[in-house]
A = this chain, B = another copy of it.
Amino acid sequence: MISRQSARLVADTPAIADAHFRAEAEPYDPRERPGGYLNLGTAENRLLWDVLRARLGELGAFTAWTEDVARYAPLHGTPVLRERIAALLSATCRTPLDPGHLVVISGATGALDALATALCDPGEAIVVPAPYYGAFDTDLGGRSGARLLPAPLPAATGFRLTAAAVADALDAARRAGITVRAVALSSPSNPVGEVHPPGVLAELLRVARQYDVDLISDEIYAHAVFGERPFTSALDPAVNPDWAERTHLVWGFAKDFALPGLKTGVLHTRNPHVLAATRALAYFAPVSTATQDLFARLLAEPAWVEGFLAEGRRRLAASYRHTAGLLDAHGLPYVPAEAGFSVWLDLRAWLRGPGSPGPDEGFAAEERLRRALFDTARVSILPGGAFRAPEPGWFRLCHTLDAPLVAEAVRRVAGLLGRPADGPPGPALAHVPATPAPADLPPNGGRP
């Protein structure tokens, strides 16, 4: 009836979007709908709408349109938008990015799809440190036909990135006769919220080079950093002295600019073949010129952009601290975050019934807990299984919405978890070790 390639895609479509729209259809309101849903499942930043709204009003928009906005433009992005993104990201990445090496495309999703399709033929593989942003399965594999090989990170250290885990997965693939084309990761990481230390990134790049595979670094959260450690791009010459032509960046306006609905992403590559291929693919998923015009205007004044991003970081930090305080108060353990919109909750203790379940049973128990949280507590948070977590019991809670909503959600989660019907709560877990100190790279930044 339909093609095999599309049937596979339909079968793999994640159920997460469903929870999002169900929760959004009946949202909690203290007066109007006190029993409504609290959606902490979606990584949307709702902390900045007042600032954005004012700015968009100021910019005037449509009335300032010229006919150029109506007309066909290069399908890999207008020159002015690519120039302004290049200026912004050159500072972020601490290396000059050429606007000619950028491809603007429909969402970071589109950028990931284009890169995976440029690099992989069906059946070839991409290694991804796990847990990872669950939509990578679809974004990187759905249309390209690539298969994703998780490189499980150790729970004992809060799933912090290690190059060794990636090397192990590359080794295993090699032994199994699987052709691996790339390693992909989100940096800073989603769901864990780690800002990857430069030393680890440098090591990861050495591994990529050793195994002759490309690196896809999804840096969509590059400006959403509020911890002590500053962000390091995979393209920073301090960590990437010799693999830059094989390192491809993804970024977008969904997170740092809090405008996810506008689905505007971008990729950067210095490899002329990958550039030609991703440009050809952008033809199928270009961004409306009207939206490109809007973003070009938003980026026009560097001083405004800097202030906006700084305000975003301040609000994120406050939201995170507030959430962490609530979790502490309720005795809910989590991995301390340094970036991103979420907290990675450790609910392993609440999966344990009488006797320790095996891992499969464990993921079934995790899914039961998710459903109870959704149906009974009416809180939508996503289970670790949706992020290919190496073990069951972890949940991602997004806190980037009004503080009272977060408070109500944490209260409900804690209330439900405390109930004996869900089995006796396990021993209160100690927090996983705090992030190691940032100085794990030689003082000269690793340059020879």
Which residues of A does B touch, CB under 8 Å?
A: 1-7, 9-10, 13, 17, 20-21, 42, 44, 46, 49, 52-53, 56-57, 59-63, 65, 67-75, 106-107, 109-110, 113, 117-122, 124, 138, 142-145, 181, 258-264, 271, 273-274, 276-278, 280-281, 283-291, 294
Contacts of A288 in B (CB 8 A): 261-264, 287-288, 290-291
Q: How far is the CB of A250 from chain B (nearest CB, A)?
A: 14
- Report which of B62, B110, B120, B278 forms a contact with A62, defined as CB distance below 8 A: B62
| Docked CA distance A154–B146 (Å) | 44
Whether B49 pairs with A56 at a CB distance below 8 angstroms is no
Q: Are A260 and B70 in contact (CB under 8 A)?
A: yes
A71 to chain B, nearest CB (A): 5
Given A74-B21, A262-B288, A289-B261, check contact A9 B67 (CB 8 Å).
Answer: no
Report how far A25 CA is from B276 CA in the complex, Å. 21
**Contact call B62/A56, Cβ cutoff below 8 A:** yes
- When the two chains form their complex, are residues B6 and A69 in contact, meaning their CB atoms are under 8 A apart? no
Contact of A286 among B60, B118, B263, B274 (CB under 8 A): B263
Residues of B within 8 A of A9 (CB): 277, 280-281
Residues of chain B within 8 A (CB-CB) of A120 are 3
| A63 contacts B61, C-beta separation under 8 Å | yes
Select A6's contact among B7, B117, B262, beta carbons within 8 Å. B117
Q: How far is the CA of A13 from the CA of B49 in the complex (A)?
A: 41
Least CB distance from A169 to B in Å reads: 21
B284 and A6 contacting across the interface, CB-CB below 8 Å: no
Nearest to A138 among chain B residues (CB) is B283
Give every chain B residue within 8 A of A142 (Cβ-Cβ).
Answer: 280, 283-284
Interchain CA distance A2-B278 in the complex, whole Å: 10
Q: Which 3 A/B pairs are nearest by Cβ-Cβ distance? A: A261-B289, A6-B277, A285-B285
Q: Indicate whether A57 sits within 8 Å of B67 (C-beta atoms), given known contacts A6-B117, A277-B2, A288-B291.
A: no
A145 contact set on B, CB distance < 8 A: 5
